[in-house]
């Protein structure tokens, strides 16, 4: 049987935005156009698909996007897409609009939506983009490098004032239920302790004693990085540290600032490779994949298998950090 030629595809961004999403959209559009395929940009993720909110994208309409943070397609977390009715409406609209394939840029929730649509007959390819880097099938998700660098810059600035006042800074970084961002930021700023959901800290030994030892060695300011998904709140961590060390302690929650900004070169390059790979997968007749990076190579994997994988923390880096902060 002859494979159906792909004539029109659509692209959307969904879930929390991440720097580099625009670069991925640009790559999708450019690769599609280079292959004579029309592209529709769906606004506001799955809610745009359900409500027929889209625009035509051409090679020139993505000029200047590579370096822009956020997503020009807007994004949303769409509750309707979790329902059978919402999924069916989205699939019906894809058919109505003559969409031969859909590229969904986002994280785990985005891929679950893509899988639902693929099961309803809409070929879907996912591109991993989240600052959390918590997608199991891929060693890298678009936006992680930029978010790490942004958080590191912020903590470097905090360190100046902490050093001047001889204080402790307890800094909360994003990451949802995962500690990848916290671990990498903690490593890059030389944190005294890094608290992540994947490891329950022995508070006395892993945090308080390290600070006490540091003070004996004439270290009078400290940075503690806490992942937002850690078992204690950042304020609780700070209160306990202050009570047990007697040192003036301040809390900073970096928040959404971590999601903004122009993507780093690494994010732009990986987004470009992943966007190109996603369109290529559709052109090859693939119908339900996630683009992933494994050992530095960008490839596509079956979405169902990919979603079953479990991601663990980089234990080697975590152990190195135990040594660095000892």
Residues that bind ligand F6P (CB under 6 A): 16, 107, 130-132, 174-176, 228, 259
Closest CB to ligand F6P among 29 and 174?
Answer: 174
Q: Which is nearer to ligand F6P, 54 or 144 (CB)?
A: 144
Q: Supply the minimum distance, in Å, between the C-beta of residue 77 and ligand F6P.
A: 6
Length of the chain, in residues: 326
CA-to-CA separations, 37 to 8, 29, 30, 294, in angstroms, rounded:
5, 9, 10, 28
Residues 6+ positions from 56 with CB-CB distance below 8 Å:
38, 39, 40, 41
- Residue 302: φ, ψ to 5°: -60, 130
Tokens of 308: 């079953």
Starting at the edge strand found earlier in the chain, the sheet holding 124-128 runs 54-57, 38-42, 8-13, 101-106, 124-128, 288-294, 297-302
The span from the CA of 13 to the CA of 178, in Å, is 21
Return the number of the residue (228 or 314) whose C-beta is nearest ligand F6P: 228
Contact between 45 and 78 (Cβ < 8 Å): yes
- Provide the token pair at 42: 């769906």
Report, in Å, the least distance between residue 134 CB and ligand F6P: 8
Nearer to ligand F6P, 19 or 123 (CB): 19
Q: CB-wise, 37 or 254, nearer to ligand F6P?
A: 254
Q: Is 178 within 8 Å of 194 (Cβ atoms)?
A: no
Q: Which of 17, 100, 108, 132 is catalytic?
A: 132
Q: Least distance (Å) from ligand F6P to the CB of residue 229?
A: 8
Shortest distance, CB of residue 283 to ligand F6P, whole angstroms? 30
Q: In the complex, what is the shortest distance from the CB of residue 135 to ligand F6P, in angstroms, rounded to a whole number?
A: 11
In contact, 189 and 152? CB cutoff 8 Å: yes
Q: Which of 75, 144, 135 is nearest to 107 (CA)?
A: 135
- Residues contacting 111, CB < 8 A, separation 6+: 104, 126, 128, 135, 290, 303, 306, 307
Residue matched to tokens 């397609």: 73
Q: Which is nearer to ligand F6P, 48 or 101 (CB)?
A: 48
Whether 132 sits among the annotated catalytic residues: the reply is: yes
Of 167 and 176, nearer to ligand F6P (C-beta) is 176
CB of residue 114 vs ligand F6P: minimum separation in angstroms? 16
Of the chain, the end-to-end C-alpha distance in Å amounts to 64
Minimal distance in Å, beta carbon 131 to ligand F6P? 6
Residues classed as catalytic:
132
């Amino acid at each position: 049987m002859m494979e159906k030629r792909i004539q029109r595809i659509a692209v959307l961004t969904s879930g929390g935005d991440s720097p580099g999403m625009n670069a991925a959209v640009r790559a999708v559009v450019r690769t599609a156009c280079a292959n004579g395929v029309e592209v529709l940009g769906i606004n506001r993720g799955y809610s745009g698909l359900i409500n027929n909110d889209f625009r035509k994208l051409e090679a020139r309409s993505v000029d200047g996007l590579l370096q822009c943070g956020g997503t020009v397609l807007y994004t949303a977390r769409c509750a309707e897409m979790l329902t059978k009715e919402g999924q069916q409406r989205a699939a019906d609209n894809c058919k109505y609009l003559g969409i031969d394939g859909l590229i969904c840029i986002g994280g785990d929730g985005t891929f679950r939506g893509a899988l639902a649509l693929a099961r309803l007959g809409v070929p879907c390819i996912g591109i991993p983009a989240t600052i959390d880097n918590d997608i199991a099938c891929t060693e890298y998700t678009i936006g992680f490098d930029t978010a790490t660098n942004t958080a590191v810059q912020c903590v470097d600035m905090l360190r100046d004032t902490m050093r001047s006042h001889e204080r402790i800074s307890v800094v909360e970084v994003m990451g949802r239920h995962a500690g990848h961002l916290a671990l990498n930021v903690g490593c890059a700023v030389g944190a005294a302790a890094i608290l992540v959901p994947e490891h329950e800290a022995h508070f006395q030994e892993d945090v308080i004693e390290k600070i006490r030892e540091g003070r004996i060695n004439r270290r009078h300011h400290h940075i503690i990085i806490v992942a937002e998904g850690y078992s204690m709140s950042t304020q609780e961590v700070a209160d306990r540290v202050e009570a047990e060390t007697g040192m003036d302690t301040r809390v900073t929650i970096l928040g959404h600032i971590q999601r903004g900004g122009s993507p780093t070169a690494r994010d732009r390059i990986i987004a470009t490779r992943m966007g190109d790979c996603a369109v290529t997968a559709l052109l090859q007749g693939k119908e339900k994949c996630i683009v992933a990076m494994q050992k530095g190579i960008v490839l596509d994997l079956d979405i169902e298998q990919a979603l079953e994988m479990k991601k663990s923390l980089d234990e080697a880096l975590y152990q190195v950090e135990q040594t660095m902060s000892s």
